């Protein structure tokens, strides 16, 4: 097994985030049948899905869940299509602190919904009219079980982790296949870091170019978040780099210094500064060709 894989396996782990919520949506078979009869449609032509409570009732829960998923994505790198992502051990404490805080926020949002649950059901009875069916609503004692957030860590397994009794040639084939898959996943994870810098920088450059093309007197907005996204991508490249890639470190450092040395207002109002910034960004993009 290549030494690089051995090093990575000892300095990274896999993490999977699980978030469960109540959809508050149900298929109404009676309403479906009524609709099909009304439109003289064939049975099975469609499905009537109804919202059991007002969408806003779960807005805070949904917001907390989105925040957790976004943080999980930012603090890790893609790994497998089964939902696992890779996390360097150096970023473990930041991940744990961030997700624990977001888990607490999720729990608070769920508790707020739970407190108002009976009122939401009463409101649904009024809004749904004949579509309201009491048996579609979980008991208050059971509804909390439908909400959950957590994460699991697992070691990064490489070919040397196979411990099975098989013929030597079969074992060798399995080891090589596993190591090839790990190597491919590592390459994809590294490309994600390049892509973060490229995407965030492209968004900022496009905004600068819109300013350059604006008509006289037209004020084009330049959001601070565009600069923040570049800074976040540069930081992520430093924190999440799995292989110690010098090219990635160089480009991340350059991107970070570019947005760290100017303000949003300077970039918006100073044409000369903006032209130089775009030229530097174009050079970064050229160096990333074939890497994203």
pLDDT band at 179 (very low <50, low <70, confident <90, very high): confident
Q: In the chain, where does DSSP find H-type helix?
A: 3-11, 29-38, 59-74, 92-128, 140-143, 168-213, 224-240, 246-260, 264-269, 271-287
Sheet holding 148-155, edge to edge: 77-78, 85-88, 12-20, 148-155
- The 10s digit of each residue's pLDDT in 4-62 is 677 888 899 999 999 999 999 988 888 888 888 888 888 888 898 999 999 999 999 99
Which residues contact residue 254 at a Cβ distance below 8 angstroms, ignoring those fewer than 6 apart? Answer: 280, 284
Q: How many CB atoms lie within 10 A of CB 63?
A: 13
- Are the beta carbons of 68 and 99 closer than 8 angstroms? yes
Burial of 212 (0-12, 13-18, 19+ CB in 10 A): exposed
pLDDT band at 112 (very low <50, low <70, confident <90, very high): very high
The most distant pair of C-alpha atoms in the chain lies apart, rounded to whole Å, by: 77
Burial of 216 (0-12, 13-18, 19+ CB in 10 A): exposed
Residue 198 has pLDDT above 70, yes or no: yes
Q: What is the Cα–Cα distance from 11 to 123, expressed in whole angstroms?
A: 52
Q: What is the Cα–Cα distance from 100 to 102, expressed in whole angstroms?
A: 5
- The 10s digit of each residue's pLDDT in 225-257 is 999 999 999 999 999 999 999 999 999 999 999
Domain segments of the chain: what residues? Answer: 11-159, 193-287
- The chain-wide mean pLDDT, for the chain, equals 89
Q: How many CB atoms lie within 10 A of CB 22?
A: 18
State both tokens at 102: 């977001």
Which residues contact residue 81 at a Cβ distance below 8 angstroms, ignoring those fewer than 6 apart? Answer: none
Q: What is the Cα–Cα distance from 119 to 90, expressed in whole angstroms?
A: 46
Residue from 262, 278, 279, 275 nearest 224 by CA: 262
Q: Which of 127-131, 164-168, 235-239, 284-288 has the lowest mean pLDDT?
A: 164-168
Task: Provide the residue count of the chain.
Answer: 292
**Angle made by CA atoms 80, 81, 85, in degrees to the nearest 5:** 40
Mode of pairing for the β-strands spanning 148-155 and 12-20? antiparallel
Most confident segment among 53-62, 162-171, 177-186? 53-62
Sign of the alpha-carbon torsion through 214, 216, 221, 227: positive
């Amino acid at each position: 097994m290549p030494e690089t894989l051995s090093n990575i396996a000892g300095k990274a782990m896999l993490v999977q985030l699980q978030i469960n919520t109540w959809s508050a949506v149900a298929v109404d078979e009676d309403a479906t049948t009524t609709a099909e009869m009304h439109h003289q449609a064939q049975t099975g032509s469609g499905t009537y899905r109804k919202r059991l409570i007002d969408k806003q009732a779960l807005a805070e829960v949904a917001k907390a869940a989105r925040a957790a998923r976004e943080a999980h994505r930012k603090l890790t790198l893609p790994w497998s299509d089964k939902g696992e992502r890779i996390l360097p051990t150096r970023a473990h404490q930041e991940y744990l602190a961030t997700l624990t805080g977001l888990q607490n926020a999720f729990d608070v949002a769920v508790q707020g919904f739970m407190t108002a649950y009976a009122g939401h059901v009463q409101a649904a009875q009024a809004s749904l009219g004949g579509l309201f069916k009491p048996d579609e609503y979980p008991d208050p004692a059971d509804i909390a079980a439908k909400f959950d957030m957590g994460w699991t860590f697992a070691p990064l397994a490489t070919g040397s982790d196979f411990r099975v009794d098989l013929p030597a040639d079969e074992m060798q084939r399995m080891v090589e296949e596993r190591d090839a898959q790990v190597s491919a996943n590592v390459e994809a994870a590294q490309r994600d870091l390049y892509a973060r810098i490229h995407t965030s920088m492209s968004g900022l450059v496009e905004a600068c170019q819109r300013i350059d093309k604006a008509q006289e007197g037209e004020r084009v907005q330049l959001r601070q978040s565009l600069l923040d996204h570049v800074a976040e991508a540069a930081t992520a490249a430093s924190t999440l780099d799995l292989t110690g890639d010098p090219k990635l470190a160089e480009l991340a450092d350059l991107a970070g210094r570019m947005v760290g040395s100017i303000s949003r207002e300077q970039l918006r109002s100073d044409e000369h500064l903006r032209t130089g910034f775009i030229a530097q960004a174009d050079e970064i993009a050229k160096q990333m060709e074939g890497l994203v």
